[in-house]
Amino acid sequence: MNAVESSKPDQPINDLIANRWSPYAFSEVAVPEDDLQALFEAARWAPSSSNEQPWCYIVATKSEPTEFERVLSCLVPQNQAWAKAAPVLAIGCTRLKFAGNGQPNAHALHDLGLASANICLEATARGICVHQMAGILPDKAREVFQIPADAQAVTGIAIGYAADPAAAPAELRDRDKARRGRKPLAEFLFTGKWQAISKLAE
């Protein structure tokens, strides 16, 4: 199997995980507030190191155009180009130190990932799509939102409803297709030694 061509799970997994995807083409239809609240409530219930819950989100909807533009301005231009169509944008941030003792939290970024995955899955359950971006301008976000030194902007997050992919520019359709390929299990599931393929991956 060509890893890049695989775009469907090899075995049955939950629909919320199998059907989640990150569209480049968003409809401008607004996301109801109670759905949005549920997405962040889902993040709230993620596990974290020492239950620190280091994640923070700065969110804006198009109903507040100035706030929306401020979040948009913290994405790299290539992401602004498509993300501006989404009705909701957020910046995923994390607190780098434990609140209790000020010590560095080595799992701060990891645990933001745990929380943001919950956002994606709660969204999928509601017919909403989420597209996370590594391509943001963290220094600009720090300045625009006055993010303190002990926290960090990590991801951009576009939230909304997928537009008909056929309506998207061909370039975006191709990027979208490429993103859906996956490595086989044998490339990341080991037993006994690094790169020793687990029998679970056979």
Residue 163 main-chain phi, psi, to 5 deg = -80, 165
Q: By C-beta, is 112 or 168 nearer to a second copy?
A: 112
User: Which tokens is 62 given?
Assistant: 């198009």
For residue 63, the minimal CB distance to a second copy (Å) is 10
Q: By C-beta, is 58 or 168 nearer to a second copy?
A: 58
Q: How far apart are alpha carbons 66 and 134 in whole angstroms? A: 23
For residue 110, the minimal CB distance to a second copy (Å) is 4
Q: By C-beta, is 50 or 167 nearer to a second copy?
A: 50
Q: By C-beta, is 31 or 168 nearer to a second copy?
A: 31
C-alpha distances out from residue 73 to 31, 143, 154, Å:
21, 11, 15
> What's the CA dihedral at 69, 73, 76, 79 to 10 degrees?
0
Element housing 91 (H / E): strand 88-95
For residue 70, the minimal CB distance to a second copy (Å) is 7
User: Which tokens is 88 given?
Assistant: 């909701």
Q: By C-beta, is 15 or 28 nearer to a second copy?
A: 15
Q: Residue 105 corresponds to which amino acid?
A: N
Beta pairing, strands 129-133 & 151-160 = antiparallel
Q: Residue 152 corresponds to which amino acid?
A: Q
For residue 31, the minimal CB distance to a second copy (Å) is 10
For residue 181, the minimal CB distance to a second copy (Å) is 7
